[in-house]
Amino acid sequence: MYQEIILDHYRSPHGAGLREPFDAESFQINPTCGDEITLRVKLDGDTVSDVSYETLGCSISQASASVLTDLVVGRSVEESMRVLTAFQEMAQGRGQVEPDEDVLGDGVAFAGVARYPARVKCALLGWMAFKDAVVRAPAADEKEHIDG
C-alpha cells in the first residue's frame, strides 16, 4: 500500500498550508479516527487557481491531499470533477478498477489503498473537502455580484 510516490508526497506535501485569498473553505472529519482536513479553494473564473489545506491525519490522507493539488490546480472545475470521479472510482474499486495514469498522474499510486477498505476514507478525505468547497464557492456570476 505504501508506494514510494505516496511516501514522497507524505514527506514533502505539495501546496500544504492555508492561504488567502480563497472563495470557499471546507472542513471534513473522519468520524472513525478523528482525522481532519481544512481545505480552501480559489477559483479564477472557471479555473481552479489554488487549493490550500491543513490536515491532521495519516500518511495516506496527507499524501492524497498533496496529489490532489497537483491534479486539480490549473484545471477547469469540470475537468477537476472528472479527475475526482476517477480517483473515487479507483479508491472504492476494491482493487478491481484499473486506474488511468493519464487522468490520475501520481494518483495511481493509491490504487493499492483500494484493497484496504478502512483506509479508503483516508484517501478520499481531501477530495471530499475539495468537492464540498467547490459546491460552496459562489458561482462566477454571483461572485461578480458580491465583488461588485
The three-state (H, E, C) secondary structure of 75-105, written as one string: CEHHHHHHHHHHHHHHHCCCCCCCCCHHHHH
Minimum distance of another protein from residue 38's CB (angstroms) = 13
Closer residue to another protein (CB): 32 or 102: 32
Residue with cell 478523528: 34
Minimum distance of another protein from residue 109's CB (angstroms) = 15
Closer residue to another protein (CB): 23 or 35: 35
- DSSP code of residue 18: -
Cα(90)–Cα(132) distance, rounded to whole angstroms? 20
Closer residue to another protein (CB): 28 or 80: 28
Cα(123)–Cα(37) distance, rounded to whole angstroms? 12
Q: What phi, psi does 40 have (nearest 5°)?
A: -115, 145
Grid cell locating 57: 491525519
Minimum distance of another protein from residue 94's CB (angstroms) = 9
Residues in contact with another protein by the rule CB under 8 A = 1-2, 7, 11, 29, 31-36, 56-60, 116-119, 122
Minimum distance of another protein from residue 31's CB (angstroms) = 5
Closest CA to 107 of 84, 74, 130: 84
Strands (E), the chain: 24-30, 35-44, 47-56
Minimum distance of another protein from residue 10's CB (angstroms) = 8
Closer residue to another protein (CB): 21 or 34: 34
Closer residue to another protein (CB): 122 or 133: 122
